[in-house]
Structure 1
Amino acid sequence: MRILLFTGKGGVGKSTIAAGTATLSAASGQRTLVLSTDAAHSLADAFGAPAGAEPTEVAPGLFVQQVDAQLRFEQSWAEIQSYLLRVLDVAGVDPVAAEELAVIPGAEEVLALLELRAQALSGEWDVIIVDCAPTAETLRLLALPEALGWYMERIFPVERKIVKALGPMLSKAAKMPMPEDSVFGAIERLHAELDEVHGLLTGQDASVRIVLTPESVVLAEARRSYTMLSLFGYRVDGVVVNRIFPTEDADEWRARWVAAQTVILGQVSESFAGLPQWRSVYRTGEPVGVDALGELAREVYGDADPLEVPEGTGPFRITRSSDGAVVHLALPYVTRDEVGLARHGDELVVSVASYRRLLTLPPGLGRHQITGARVVGGELQVRFKEGAS
């Protein structure tokens, strides 16, 4: 099953491109679901058709779904919500306000990931296309499974033991209800399911496509997205440059835009060299509906297969030799001075800007020591040698 995520800065038209790609997929005979994790939920507007919390067919073989965070939270995490409501009641929060507060920040995006997992495991679909939230939210979301994994392995068991042993005493001292074991169980299920999502999205048949417009600020964010997606192990399979002004018959005002965009388009070509790049000309009207979206997508992709699976092993790999191994992690545009690197036991901690990834090293590297690290051609290379001091 092919999974394709679309992301980009808000307002670049990623929902339209995602919807158009899904339309082509369904037209080729693939049973296709396009799922929105964006709180703005623009897919229904793009298709000009109603869409809700369950998959809705908008064309033969083409289904749209927009996750209802409140509904999914009540269905999947009733234990957690019940505990939060009790805490808020003790704190004196109005019951109506408490119902709103009990949907945790970011719940919509998290539950959309869980819905993606459920749909992927259902066996109903040949292709799932995800219209992601704007870039920053998407990066935080995609970093969540590994971050939660670290918490679950290192901190969570200790907290659970403490609450089980000292719960009544703590509850009396804090005058707040302590979470029951069912709440911990719900958190464990959340972790296990998010871990499955991470496996799906970093697998061979999944990739991310970046949508941008030819503007310097948007390009800068797209470059950062490429770096951070690679940092967390997600494969970027191409970029779509949207809303390019046509060059013919340009008046003076538009000619200036054309000139400015031409410069940025050259920078896009250089920035994403080696990746497929598709372009979409600014249209005279907004593409709404299956027919208009399909026409747009055919113009964007031309003869290329919009669902082609990228080759290679992804951003992370390990090469081995007789005296050790090298861990390779793609970090486009990054210099050695911008990378923070540390080791804690079997974990390699890699930091770039405000993002940090904890890479769990394979068991075979546990007895190896780091002998050096460098950044070459947009790739971090960390050398390990057995028995080195």
Structure 2
Amino acid sequence: MAQILTFLGKGGTGRTTVAIAAAKQLAASGSRTLLVSSDSSPAFGILLGLSPGAEPQEIAANLSAVQLQATVLLENSWEEVKKLEAKYLRSPTLKNVYGQELSVLPGMDGALALNAIREYNASGKYDAIVYDGTGDLQTLRVLGIPETASWYFRRFRQVFIESDLGKAIAPFIQPVSSAVLNVTWTADNFAPEPTNQATSMLEDGKAAIADPHRVLAYLVTTDDPSAIATAKYLWGSAQQINLSVGGVLLNQADTTAAITKEFAPLAVTSLPRKTADWQPLLDALPSFKPAAQIPKPVTIDLAARQVKIFLPGFDKKQVKLTQYGPEITVEAGNQRRNITLPPPLSGQPVKGAKFQDGYLIVSL
């Protein structure tokens, strides 16, 4: 599997330049690298020095690049949907709807980009994939799709099972599916455990995001106070999707004690201004390997009956904790995260919570 690397930060801090430099560095070290851009405008090609296509193309030794086009991705995905329908239904209904007719709805491009990255990763052609997204909450929401979608799927499926409607139609699922479809279904298809391809993909996506050896983000900032504040905000927001942040890249500025303190315990790497010669910038980059000091987004202490959620960049007034079901919900950075508790703590009411040193500490 490839290591997936992405960058977060305020617009204008040089994220795309850093992403290109990182891809060049990884390729130079011998890793088969794919540089993926979600920016369909000419800006990416100008920075890169060439215009990549909608399919990966080799641009240097060990380095390929692709500029994602949502319409092309939608056409390809639609054909896969039609194949699945034809496989499972005796009378497919989508065969006369063509991908070339479809328009991209708001938010669809992010899901398509994530699926494209998943497919590039599954191809086995690359050791590293550098994703140059928007670098803001939109990128985080794209990477958080497996977590969010699996929660919706699990919770609403369970609600359906327990509803009067679910109980009423359960005995008829098997005969109806046998009569209409080419496959045999049972009520087990609605069980809360992941038993099909869709849930397996979501679970694998969640596991990948939570593993810093598979998916890792870096913060990109300048010494401008607003850029630093944005980077810290995105750092905390990344914790909401269980994404590890490996370090800070301080672009076009020297590291100071004050900046180091802002991002502790993350390492801060100072980067020079990019010139016509990329090499000085490449030499200044870190190794992009997960370090031991990366704080875990969530730590559960069964003995102390505590859940610690790492939320740097936020204070107590910006964090909201609620509990409406068997999970606890944390709201921060315009995002909500549902934390599934282990059996000994599941369903236990929250007894108290405090905010300390960047951690929300919940007692059960």
TM-score by length of 1: 0.72
Residues 139-170 of structure 1 show CA distances to partners (whole Å, capped at 9, x for unaligned) of 332333322223222336878998xx9xxxxx
Q: Please give the residue correspondences for 1:207-286 in structure 2 after superposition, counting only pairs within 5 Å.
A: 207-244=216-253, 267-283=258-274, 285=275
Are positions 1:339 and 2:330 aligned together? no
What is the deviation of 1:238? Answer: 0.8
What is the CA RMSD across the aligned residues, in angstroms? 3.5
Letter in 1 for 2:19: A
Q: Please give the residue correspondences for 1:290-369 in structure 2 after superposition, counting only pairs within 5 Å.
A: 292-298=277-283, 300-301=284-285, 305-311=286-292, 314-321=296-303, 324-366=304-346, 368-369=348-349
Q: Check 1:334–1:159 CA distance in 2 against 1; reply closer, same or farther (3 A cut).
A: same
Question: Secondary structure of the residue that 1:381 maps to in structure 2?
Answer: strand
Question: Secondary structure of the residue that 1:344 maps to in structure 2?
Answer: coil
Letter in 2 for 1:316: V
What is the deviation of 1:344? Answer: 2.6
Letter in 2 for 1:204: P
Aligned to 1:30: 31
What is the deviation of 1:349? Answer: 0.3
Residues 289-341 of structure 1 show CA distances to partners (whole Å, capped at 9, x for unaligned) of xxx3344221x23xxx42222225721121221xx522111011333333211
Letter in 2 for 1:366: S
Aligned to 1:17: 18
Q: Check 1:189–1:10 CA distance in 2 against 1; reply closer, same or farther (3 A cut).
A: farther
Residues 91-124 of structure 1 show CA distances to partners (whole Å, capped at 9, x for unaligned) of xxxx9xx9464x1212222211111111222222
Letter in 2 for 1:139: L
What is the deviation of 1:236? Answer: 0.8
Flag structure 1 segments of 5+ consecutive residues without an equivalent.
82-94, 166-187, 245-261, 385-389
What is the deviation of 1:232? Answer: 2.1
More helix by share: 1
Distance in structure 2 (CA, Å) of the matches to 1:11 and 1:195: 35
Q: Check 1:42–1:112 CA distance in 2 against 1; reply closer, same or farther (3 A cut).
A: farther
Residues 184-228 of structure 1 show CA distances to partners (whole Å, capped at 9, x for unaligned) of xxxx96665455333212213021101112222222211110111
Distance in structure 1 (CA, Å) of the matches to 2:323 and 2:279: 49
Distance in structure 2 (CA, Å) of the matches to 1:194 and 1:52: 28
Flag structure 2 segments of 5+ consecutive residues without an equivalent.
83-96, 169-195
Distance in structure 1 (CA, Å) of the matches to 2:202 and 2:116: 10
What is the deviation of 1:46? Answer: 2.7
Question: Secondary structure of the residue that 2:278 maps to in structure 1?
Answer: helix
Aligned to 2:68: 67
Aligned to 1:179: none
Aligned to 2:89: none
Q: Check 1:50–1:315 CA distance in 2 against 1; reply closer, same or farther (3 A cut).
A: same
Distance in structure 2 (CA, Å) of the matches to 1:53 and 1:274: 39
**Alpha carbons 1:114, 1:193 under 8 Å: kept:** no
Are positions 1:370 and 2:344 aligned together? no
Structure with the larger RCO, 1 or 2 (CA within 8 Å, 6+ apart): 1
Question: Secondary structure of the residue that 2:314 maps to in structure 1?
Answer: coil
Higher mean C-alpha displacement, 352-361 vs 362-371: 362-371
Q: Please give the residue correspondences for 1:121-270 in structure 2 after superposition, counting only pairs within 5 Å.
A: 121-155=122-156, 193-205=201-213, 206-244=215-253, 267-270=258-261
Identical-residue share of aligned pairs (%): 30
* Alignment length (residue pairs): 323
TM-score by length of 2: 0.77
Aligned to 1:4: 5
Question: Secondary structure of the residue that 1:130 maps to in structure 2?
Answer: strand
